Structure 1
């Protein structure tokens, strides 16, 4: 794993690094520490990362300016901050977890383990997905997304207005973040269950989910019973 710690207090950064190395061990390929917002933005732009551990107050700079960029990338972001009142907003932007300061090893380990176990989030609702578009970050409301299709290391977001946006996160990572309202009905598709109008059984044991806008999405054979039960 390639990990970046963004924290302006050296003592806390060293503690996070020590615990992270203890928890992940040999799985860590690189672990960097940056203390300023601008340096972190440059590092993210020029590096291949798997995880960012982010403080929200960096020498007085608002960490949300970095958060909107971080959550648009392929990696997961975990916030470690004393500003507990910002936890809901952080989750709405699409962080994997929010660890309040002061924290102990057990709480940090719980957060870090989610990046490995692929545990899904069902307690905090993401309300926005940040996507990179023409060199800028665009925030897309979750309510405007009908379904998501895997496209290799990326994902395609299909919106209610008929447009399509590309997200840098894989379908698996988005499934972790959006499992409260989207269902993995096929290896290549996440679908908002509230948009399904009908489940159709075709010859040859083929199953389809027809959405309210008339689009049909395939349902995996092994997922059919579970999808039907959740839809009903």
Structure 2
């Protein structure tokens, strides 16, 4: 993994570096520590990143300025900050976790386990998905997304008005962030369960979800029972 730490307090940065190295011992490729927001933004532009650990107050600069411009990227972001009142806003912008200062090893490891998808999020408050359009970041309200289709390392967001947008995060990473109303019906589809009108069974035991817009999406055989239980319980 390639990990970037953006933290301006030297003492705290050293603790984060030590704990991060200990946790990702066998999977760590490169770990970089930077103290300023601008240097962090430049590093993200020019390097491949898997995880960003971000403080929100960096010598007076606001970490949200970075977050708003990078939340559409393929990597996960974990906020480490004393500003607990900003946790909700951070989750709304799609961070994986918010670790309040002061923190201990167990709390940071919990966040790291979520990176590896070993621990689920207790609260998924994401309200926006960020996409890049003509070089600019645009926030899409999660309420307008009806389903998400996997497209290799990327995903395609499909909106209620028929518009589609590419997103840099994989389907697996978005599944970690999205609220429970989105359910995995197929290896390539995450769907808002409230827009599924019915389940259709075609010859050969092929299952399809009929959406409220009459569109049909495939249902994986291993996911059929789970989806049926969610819809009718």
Q: How does 1:146-157 map to 2 (within 5 A)?
A: 146-157=146-157
Structure 2: how far apart are the matches of 1:142 and 1:129?
6
Does the residue aligned with 2:148 lie in a helix, a strand or coil? strand
CA deviations 1:49-102 (Å, max 9, x no partner) are 110000111111111010112221001000000000000110111111000000
Q: How does 1:161-172 map to 2 (within 5 A)?
A: 161-172=161-172
Runs of 4+ in 1 over 4 A off after TM superposition: none
Q: Name the counterpart of 2:181.
A: 181
Q: Quick check: 1:120–1:177 contact (8 Å CA) kept in 2? A: no
Does the residue aligned with 1:26 lie in a helix, a strand or coil? coil
Taking structure 1 as reference, are residues 120 and 179 closer, same or farther at Cα in structure 2, changes over 3 Å only? farther
1:15 aligns with 2:10: no
Q: Name the counterpart of 1:216.
A: 216
CA deviations 1:8-60 (Å, max 9, x no partner) are 11111111000111111121100001111111111111111110000111111
Structure 2: how far apart are the matches of 1:120 and 1:172?
13
Does the residue aligned with 1:117 lie in a helix, a strand or coil? coil
Q: Name the counterpart of 1:133.
A: 133
Q: Quick check: 2:154–2:171 contact (8 Å CA) kept in 1? A: yes
Structure 2: stretches of 5+ with no match in the other structure: none
User: How far apart are residue 213 of structure 1 and its match?
Assistant: 1.1
User: How far apart are residue 118 of structure 1 and its match?
Assistant: 4.8
Does the residue aligned with 1:231 lie in a helix, a strand or coil? helix
Q: Quick check: 2:124–2:178 contact (8 Å CA) kept in 1? A: no
TM-score by length of 2: 0.97
Structure 1: how far apart are the matches of 2:164 and 2:23?
39
TM-score by length of 1: 0.97
